[in-house]
Structure 1
Amino acid sequence: MTLSVELEEWIGSLWHRFITRRASVDFPEARVELASRQRALALLFRATGGALNMGVEAVSERALLVRRSVLQQIAGTCKQVPLAWCDAQNLRLPASLAIFPEASLNEELYRWLALLAAQSGPMRHWGRDNQRWTRYLLQRYPGMANRYQRLLAAHLQLRPDPATLSPAEAALERALRQALREPGSVEHFPRCERAAWPVPLWLYPPLYLGGATTADLEDLNSDLPAAGGEQQGGRKRATRTDDSPVTGGLLVVRLENLFSWTEHVELDRWEDDSQDPDAAKVAEDLDHLTLSRTRIRKGGGLKLHLDLPPADIDDIPLGAGIKLPEWDYRQGRLQDNFVNLQLFEPRDCTPQLLPARLQPAARRLRRQFEQLRHERQWLRQQPQGSELDLQAWLDFHVQRVNGQGAERGLFMERRHTHRDLACLLLADVSMSTDAHLNDEHRVIEVIRDSLLLFGETLSTLGDDFALYGFSSLRRQQVRLQELKTFAQRYDDSTRGKIQGLTPGYYTRMGAAIRQATRLLSSSKRRRKLLLLLTDGKPNDLDLYEGRYGVEDTREAVHEARRQGLIPFCITIDRKAADYLPYMFGSNGYSLIRQPDQLPLRLPQLYRQLTQL
């Protein structure tokens, strides 16, 4: 009996491989994979006009009602086809291409689709829009004409012969062939009950998600464990379902017939908290996903959210809240009045002297910067001076050779100058700063000491400076602690506010940087430095966690630079190299590997940044 079952399974597997291979329209020996070309295609897409916030991802096959041959119907193939399409977040390309018998043609098709998507916009009519985009692409890049003709000639050989189709299907096929040969020549396409044979050279409408939002699918993808080295599939068709019953309750029966209250009362029952290692493979094999939101996500673990403290013990609010925009990378635009920022002043902070343990370091820094304050500076390109300015003379010589020899100062003079500089220091005081660096110190204590020594140093130097702390609890409550404004003196009152800082909440960097940019832009100084002191990456309880927060912070830094500010980040996070170069640039941040040295390193970094 066992032998006959195994023989049956063996014959069945042979038949399946044979009939599937005979019915397939692909060329497996010429297959090319998207994974190895994803980065290059994304670069090509953005370089030729595609949105900078969009990426390139693999797409899943979608159902398409096309006429299939008898062999394909027997094999059950060609029901679904991988089609390229584009939405607001990503360009979706097939995970692999084996459409043409030559691998070079399949690679060229990937590049063609990336170029076509870069010229595309909202799709109103599939046929007319693709013709318009193709014609515009060929006009903009005439060198693509030969490549397009190669792809077109290879594709037309694989399309069905109109003579073998029904009249309606034949008319649609002829119209498509004409539109491919002469883009823009076909305005109206004949109606047909069946879809035309797929056109891989064109983009298709975005896949309808059936009630499931983008956030739902992103959450689903994050919940599915993928095997090592295995690429997850593209986006699926999905629908949202409500798993909680609208009606229900106790059954009206005799109590002796009730086996258990939990059988009839709506309760969140225990379920296994471990993830299924095969969940990603199962999801990959499904054509249609049904998503449900349970009341307890990822098991029954305890999850705490911090609420704001009562008003009588909270910091003192200063004025009404300030509405600020926030960057949504998925839409590629700023959302106006999206964030509410509130200025606070620490409550019950009495004026205090500088702690005794910091006074020796403060005296050393004051002596160093007092000498720099009276030190004379070299001024370049002066009409007269004690030394020749070689760089100015070289520039003048080059311009004179090119016929642009404008008069300029060619000397250097050393004399006392006024430092036309303003600095705003923004310190992260989120609850992550409550962590311990060692057995003696916490992060918040190091930040307090850094602010104190920074204030002692700059007050000696005479530069205009302001000190603020920030934290957040979702976009409705971004908290900015006012420690010292540009108009206030650095005194015992400021020292008391700094020593009264307490950690709490989260790190919504973008809003804090935008408000700091506004405050610093109002200064009349010529040079303006914005320093950010933090111990980690941007995060909050809502979507700000992950890429959303990184992209918003990066956009806020770009806004500051466009207004003439110099933003610079100082961090103690050893993983900062993974995200800070993207947000601040490779030269826009400094990592302090020994956090306990931050109070002494901060004034020295300020000295380097201001080129004393």
Structure 2
Amino acid sequence: MEEFVGGLWDKLITRTAYRGFPQARVELKEIEKLAPVFFRALGGDAGLNVRAGTATAHGARRSWMERIAGIGERVELAWTDDATLHLPASIDLYPERALNRELYLWLLALAAHDVAPEAAWIVRNQEAARATLEALPGMAARYRKLVEAELLRRGDAARLPAAEKQAEQAIRDALCEPGSINEFVPGERPPFPVPLWLHPEPPLPAGEQRRPAKGEPQQPEGGKVNKDAEARKRSAENVDMPKADNPFVLLFRAESLFTWAEYVKVNRSLDEDDNDDAVKAANDLDVLSVANDGKTTASRIRFDLDLPAEADDDLVLADGILLPEWHYRKQQMQPAHCRLQMLLARDAQPCELPVDLRPAARRLRSQFQALSSQRARLRAQANGTDLDLDACVRHAAEKASGLPTAEPGLYIDSRRQQRDLSCLLLADLSLSTDAWVSNSARVIDVIRNSMMLFGEALGATGDRFALYGFSSVRRENVRYHLIKGFDERYDAAIRGRVAALKPGFYTRMGAAIRHSAAILSKQKTSRRLLLILTDGKPNDLDKYEGRYGIEDTRVAVQEARRLGLTPFCVTIDEKAGEYLPHLFGANGYVVVRDAETLPKVLPNLYVQLTGE
């Protein structure tokens, strides 16, 4: 009974103290399709994704009702980092639902016109607001409504202490007249958050300073990962690992234990076992504390990623191929920044096509043989089986006009024409390909089967094609695997190289695309297709992560297009829609939802891309 009454009281006091308007709440999910389009249409950075952030402690004063109810300590704010624009997961600040939705649109517009990101917080937002209102005069009336609602929500500033009152007045003036405040002097307590503004990256609890990140490896690409449905970004802090010889342990009293039990030998979960409640626990924490004890999963993975000895590694065909790389922060190309190794599988043995792939291979060969050579009717020929009436009329008119005419081609001839195109398939062989897509197949198995069927299909057409794979360990070691060159015949030896493929390391995609483009550009065909087969976004250990790797890959794709090539990406990554449109354009990629169907999808996709 006490628990029941306590629960009712908790609900009552929480509902009374809550300052929002749940009935007018607008969720980010409701505009998740509109938000990125609206943001980019206003000139926002095309490389930024839009997703929900996380609540952070603001440290400002709370009402006594909020303190009694234990709420109001945290608030969801808008902020940006190198790869993402983070917005509140929901907004219910104002009593009108339309006004809460307008706040989402205003934040998107403000982020698109963030012209002074390095300036002080209050100056940065005033400059962004001015730039937004100058570029979008139609938003002025909406902005005024938001400001009026926000000033009303902030309450009476006269009750605050003098210093905090002055700080609050500066914020109000900056909201009403962007550009009027050049300096902000905070009071004893931080000011109440301003939901109409962007905040530092990321918003931290009051009084804390962000520690610089250490150059530790990222988590592995493969393996099972429990996903957060809202994809929030968490606030975190670096802390020191507690010492085992802490003297305060001596103060522990056994009497504090609730029960005693004898030791029983049972299987207990390990620290690395999946925890179904991990996301809920993370949501309950203000800040995630992360300590480095030297025994993390990343440390073990780094040991596993040590390169094999030269005697056990693949044969090096070419070492030290230097390639440039784009530095997106400096907006300049870094010449000779990456070193690429051309490798050939050492222990690859010739083999036949696996039995389970033979029925599909027969169907593909039959389908693709019809494309190998087709009869074409060539007009304006000197000899042929039929008259070209258009050429005859044109020749008669020119002759009647008295103009000198060249030797006419008055016939139509029917000849067999060979397809004039070449294709290079570049496969991602990173560590993530060791992940399982089903109970019987890994990503690397799907890639092997895809390349084998692709080779069988193109071998039937007579088209020139090449197969390569890549992975990397930092910029000094981009591993580029030769599977089939343009001048090699697809046979049992090539199948053996495909069968010998194994998961590699990381995904320095820009360097691999640049070298592939250099190889493909030497082919003297009228059409040249560069197919990239991958299961994730670009990444590597040395800062080739997030925006850096994405922008370098994007520049590499643009360079390939300038060479007259047609880059196209085939991926099985579920989140590809967040970054591939920025890399390859809206029509430059396809997402294969069921990875196991990739071997059948890839050859048919080739037919569509080559226009046959």
**TM-score, normalization by structure 1:** 0.67
Which amino acid counterpart does residue 498 of structure 1 have in structure 2?
A: I
For residues 223 and 82 of structure 1, the distance between their equivalents in structure 2, rounded to whole angstroms, comes to 29
The alpha-carbon distance between structure 1 residues 608 and 514, as it changes in their structure 2 partners (threshold 3 A), is same
- Report deviation, 1:142: 0.8
What is the CA-CA distance between 1:74 and the residue it aligns to?
4.0
Bigger relative contact order, structure 1 or 2 (CA pairs below 8 A, ≥6 apart): 2
Residues 1:290 and 1:321: Cα distance change in structure 2 (over 3 Å): same
Contact 2:446 2:599 in 1 (8 A): no
What code does the residue aligned with 1:99 have?
L
Q: Does structure 1 retain, via aligned residues, the 8 Å contact 2:567–2:588?
A: no
Gaps of 5+ in 1: 1-5, 249-268, 390-410
Instruction: Confirm or deny: 8 A CA contact 1:430 1:470 kept in the other structure.
Output: yes
Distance (whole Å) between structure 2 residues aligned to residue 560 and residue 128 of structure 1: 41
Q: What does 1:229-248 align with in structure 2 at a 5 Å threshold? A: 231=230, 234-242=233-241
CA shift in 2, pair 1:443/1:122, >3 Å: closer
**AA at the equivalent of 1:504:** K
Letter of the structure 2 residue corresponding to residue 173 of structure 1: E
**Residue number in structure 2 paired with 1:564:** 564
Aligned to 1:504: 502
Could you give the per-residue CA deviations for residues 127-150 of structure 1, whole angstroms, max 9, x where no partner exists?
A: 222111111111111111111111
Quote the residue 1:407 is aligned against.
none
Q: Deviations over 1:383-423 (max 9, x none)?
A: xx92559xxxxxxxxxxxxxxxxxxxxx9966779979452
Distance in 1 between residues matched to 2:245 and 2:332, nearest whole Å: 39
Q: Equivalent residue of 1:65, what SS?
A: coil
1:150-165 correspondence runs (5 A):
150-165=145-160
Whether 2:161 is the aligned partner of 1:166: answer yes
Are the aligned partners of 2:369 and 2:461 in contact in 1 as well (CA < 8 Å)? no
CA drift of 1:189 comes to 3.5
CA contact (8 A) 1:427 1:468 kept: yes
Alignment of 1:199-218 (within 5 A): 199-206=194-201, 207-208=203-204, 210-211=210-211, 213=213
1:444-463 equivalences under 5 Å are: 444=448, 447=451, 451=455, 454=458, 458=462
1:322 corresponds to = 321
Which residue pairs with 2:181 in the alignment?
A: 186
Instruction: Report the CA distance between 1:473 and its aligned residue.
Output: 5.0
Check 1:554–1:166 CA distance in 2 against 1; reply closer, same or farther (3 A cut). Answer: closer
What's the % identity of the aligned pairs? Answer: 34
Deviation at 1:217, TM superposition (A): 13
**Residues 508-551 of structure 1: CA deviation (Å, up to 9, x unaligned):** 4834332111122244554323355x5x6358995799999899
Aligned equivalent of 2:264? none
Structure 2 gap ranges (5+): 248-267, 381-386, 392-409
Correspondences of 1:463-474 after superposition (within 5 Å): 465=464, 467-474=466-473
SS at match of 2:318: coil
* 1:196 maps onto 2:195 in alignment: no
Mapped to 1, the partners of 2:134 and 2:108 lie a distance apart of 16
Aligned pair partner of 1:96 in 90, 100, 107: 90
Q: Go from structure 1 to structure 2 and tell me whether the alpha carbon gap of 1:153 and 1:246 turns closer, same or farther (over 3 Å shift).
A: same
Q: Which moved more, 1:477-486 or 1:140-149?
A: 477-486
Query: Which of 10, 20, 25 is 1:31 aligned to?
Result: 25
Query: 91, 101, 109: which is aligned to 1:107?
Result: 101
Q: Determine if contact 2:369/2:460 at 8 Å carries over to the other structure.
A: no
Would you say the 8 A contact 2:531–2:567 is kept in 1?
yes
Code of the aligned partner of 2:129: T
Shift in alpha-carbon separation, 1:568–1:190, aligned structure 2, 3 A: closer
Amino acid at match of 2:388: S
Distance in 2, Cα, partners of 1:429 & 1:76: 50
Query: Which of 93, 109, 112 matches 1:118?
Result: 112
Question: Given the alignment, which residue of 134, 140, 143 partners 2:135?
Answer: 140
Superposition CA RMSD, Å: 5.6
More displaced 10-residue stretch of structure 1: 119-128 or 13-22? 13-22
Using the alignment, how far apart are the partners of 1:81 and 1:326 within structure 2? 40
Residue 517 of structure 1 aligns with an amino acid whose one-letter code is: A
- 2: CA distance, partners of 1:574 / 1:289: 28
Matched with 1:129 is 124
Tell me how far apart the structure 2 counterparts of residues 444 and 214 of structure 1 sit (CA, whole Å).
37
Structure 2: distance between partners of 1:477 and 1:129 = 41
Cα offset, 1:204, TM superposition: 1.8
Residue of structure 1 equivalent to 2:519: 519
State the shift of 1:307 in Å.
6.2
User: 1-side partners of 2:610 and 2:125: how far apart?
Assistant: 54
Deviations 1:268-302 (A, max 9, x none): x9845543333322221221221134555579999
Question: Residues 110 and 15 from structure 1, CA distance in 2 versus in 1: closer, same or farther, beyond 3 angstroms?
Answer: same
Counterpart-to-counterpart distance in 1, 2:319 and 2:448: 28
Count of paired positions: 537
Residue by residue over 1:558-578, the C-alpha shift from the partner in whole angstroms, topping out at 9 and shown as x without a partner, is 54234321235689x899999
CA contact (8 A) 2:314 2:344 kept: yes
1:237, distance to aligned residue in structure 2 (A): 3.7
